[in-house]
Amino acid sequence: MTFQDIFKSSFLENISSVSLLDMTVALALAFGIGLFIFLTYQKTYQGVMYSSSFGVTLIALTMITTLVILAVTSNIVLSLGMVGALSIVRFRTAIKEPLDIAFLFWSIAVGIVLAAGLIPLAVIGSVVIGLVLLIFVNRKSHIEPYILVLQCENQESEQQATAFLQTQTRTCAVKSKTVQKGAIELDLDVRLKSADTDFINALSALPGVRSAVLVRYNGDYMG
């Protein structure tokens, strides 16, 4: 067996398995749709700390998936080896926002569809998904969950404050109550009638009310 026979039976035969035009078009489209996914992620992000690296990861993930699927579709033997190689990969970064999972899966799905040659499906599907996310995620509603931390001096001021809240909010439910000598602290789950929060100023001015803190949360906390 000569040196030429060794290379002939290995990777040299796979050089022309995927044309340069196919690679260029697929990766260019993957970058373009990945950029669209990134911009959609920026517009719809509603977490506490925005991570720009995650947005760049969405673009890279779309292109990497396209690259991998192009290689897999060009060689059956390579596809079996790729499955075995990828099975040992472990991702230990925790996904804090549930919507981030949808963006990750969206990037991977686009990469697979583009590499399979289903370009209209990838483009039209991405546009539809992006519009759905922009419409529903950015839709604002005043019926959002809020946590109200209320501190009162005694039971009389507590009853007066809760009666006032019943008239100013859509719903008001006690989540927890802490009683100490000369102090009562309430954690209440409230839903507002409107986006106006001026009633907190009037609440804090009631006799016996030491403080009133209103905090919005996303409703995912257990309790």
92 pLDDT higher than 80: no
Does the pLDDT at position 118 exceed 90? no
* CB atoms near residue 141 (< 10 Å): 6
83-92, 104-113, 126-135, 151-160 — which is least confidently predicted?
83-92
Can you tell me which residue has the tokens 């507002």? 192
Superfamily covering domain 145-216: ACT domain (3.30.70.260)
Lookup: tokens for 144: 């959002």
Sequence-ordered list of residues with C-beta below 8 angstroms from that of 159, at least 6 positions apart, any chain: none
The amino acid at 42: Q
pLDDT tens readout for residues 3-52: 555 445 555 555 556 677 878 888 999 999 999 999 999 888 876 667 77
Question: Where does the chain hold its CATH 3.30.70.260 domain(s)?
Answer: 145-216
Beta bridge partners of 111: none
Is the pTM higher than 0.75? The answer reads: no
Residues 41 and 44: their CA atoms lie apart, in Å, by 5
Question: If you average pLDDT over each of 49-63, 78-92, 114-128, which comes out highest?
Answer: 114-128
| pLDDT of 97 strictly over 90 | no
Q: What pLDDT sits at residue 2? A: 54
Work out the burial of residue 175: count CB atoms within 10 Å of its CB; fewer than 13 is exposed, 13-18 middle, 19 or more buried.
middle
d(CA 19, CA 40): 32
